[in-house]
Structure 1
Amino acid sequence: MKDKIIHKSVDLFLNLGFKSVTMDDIANEMGISKKTIYVHFPNKTKLVETVTFTLFETICDGIDCICETSNNPIEELYAIKMFVMQHLKNEKTSPQHQLKKYYPQIFETLRLKQFEKMHESVGESLQKGVDTQLFRKDIDIDFISRMYFNGMTGIKDDSIFPQEQFNMEYLMESYLEYHLRAIVTDKGLTILNQFIKKNQS
């Protein structure tokens, strides 16, 4: 039952927002009593925390699978972007923004976990790119992986990139291209251009 509650809550929180969804909403959607939810989660904050970190672990597992099977680090980054977008329902309700506003402690813990994961996986991806001569050999891997995280979190700032002006798909796509064009070799640029052309047609 606990897993079912988490699964349904992920769906509702991502579609309607952490603030909008009440324990009553979850109970009604599942056709169970609110008491049943409270058996597993003492309050909504605990449920939000569990849902947030469960979703994070799911996304991390998916990213690991993509990294193990990708053809090259350029396509890998685009595959990760698609995977994350699907899991976050294209961030219709700005879940990160709501989490930051209403559950700041959970948000900060998540942000640290995200940084640790992204710093490690982007670092490995950059090294793979250098080794396969797709990325310039003189890049500072530690610096660029930190900049990448900063940029990816920065585009989610609604005060800088208002949702009514920019959709998340466009922002992530544009940022990825911006990031890659800064570090690719001529060989990498050929692959990047081919990939963009193929996916736009």
Structure 2
Amino acid sequence: MREKIIEKATEMFLNLGFKSVTMDDLASEMGISKKTIYSHFKNKSDLVEQTAMTMSNFITCGIDNIVASQKNPIEELYEIKKFIMIHLKDERSSPLYQLQKYYPKIYTSLKEVQFECTHRCVTKNVIRGMDTGIYRDNLNVEFVSRIYFSGITSIKDNTMFPTQIFSKTELLDHYLEYHLRGIITPEGRKILNSIINSNQE
């Protein structure tokens, strides 16, 4: 039952936001009593924390699986983007913003986990790209990895990039192309252009 509650809560939090969904809403949606939910979670904060961390672990495992498949580094980043978009929906309700505002401690813990995963993944990606000649060989790996995470985090800021102007998919596409064009070689440019062209067909 605990896993079912987390699964349904994840779906509702992503669609409606962490603040917007009440324990009554969740109980009603699942056809169970609030008492049943409280037998597994101390309070809503506990449920939010467990849900956020379960979601984060799922995304991290998915990213690790994509990295393990050893695609070329440019394709790898596009595969990761596609995986994240499928599982995080369009974030129209800005759940991360609500998490940051109403559950700042949980948000900080989540951000640390996300940084570790992204830093590890992008560091490997950049080194492989340099080794295979599709990224420039004079890159500062630590800088590229950190600026990538900084950018990915910044485009989630709804005040800076409002959803009325940018859809989530569009933003990620723009950012990924922006990131890659700064680090690729002419050989890498051929691969990137090929991916962009095939995505537009």
Verify: 1:184 aligned to 2:184, yes or no.
yes
Unaligned runs of 5+ residues in structure 1 are none
Q: Distance in 2 between matches of 1:7 and 1:71?
A: 30
1:71 Cα shift?
A: 2.2
- Tell me the SS of whatever aligns to 1:55: helix
Q: Distance in 1 between matches of 2:27 and 2:159?
A: 34
RMSD of aligned residue pairs (Cα, Å): 0.8
SS of match in other structure, 1:91: coil
Q: Deviations over 1:55-114 (max 9, x none)?
A: 000000000111111421101111101111111112121111110011111111111111
How many positions carry a matched residue from both structures? 201
Identity %, equivalent residues: 53
- Of residues 49-58 and 114-123 in structure 1, the stretch that sits farther from structure 2 once superposed is 114-123
List aligned pairs for 1:165-176, cutoff 5 A: 165-176=165-176
TM-score of the two chains, using structure 1 as the length reference: 0.98
Aligned to 1:143: 143
Q: Which residue of 1 aligns with 2:49?
A: 49
Give the secondary-structure state (helix, strand or coil) at the position aligned to 1:184: coil
Measured in 2, the distance between the counterparts of 1:24 and 1:136 equals: 54
Code of the residue aligned with 2:43 in structure 1: it is: N
Are the equivalent residues in 1 in contact too, given 2:92–2:163 (CA < 8 A)? no
1:92 and 2:99 are equivalent in the alignment? no
Aligned residue for 2:14? 14
Q: Which amino acid aligns with 1:111?
A: K
Matches within 5 A, 1:24-39: 24-39=24-39
The one-letter code matched in structure 2 to 1:69 is: S
Aligned equivalents of 2:24 and 2:185: distance in 1?
55
Alignment of 1:127-166 (within 5 A): 127-166=127-166
Q: Distance in 2 between matches of 1:25 and 1:122?
A: 39
- Note the 1:83-122 alignment, pairs <5 A: 83-122=83-122
For 1:92, what is the secondary structure of its paired residue? Answer: coil
- Where in structure 2 are there 5+ consecutive unaligned residues? none
Partners of 1:66 and 1:91 lie apart in 2 by 22
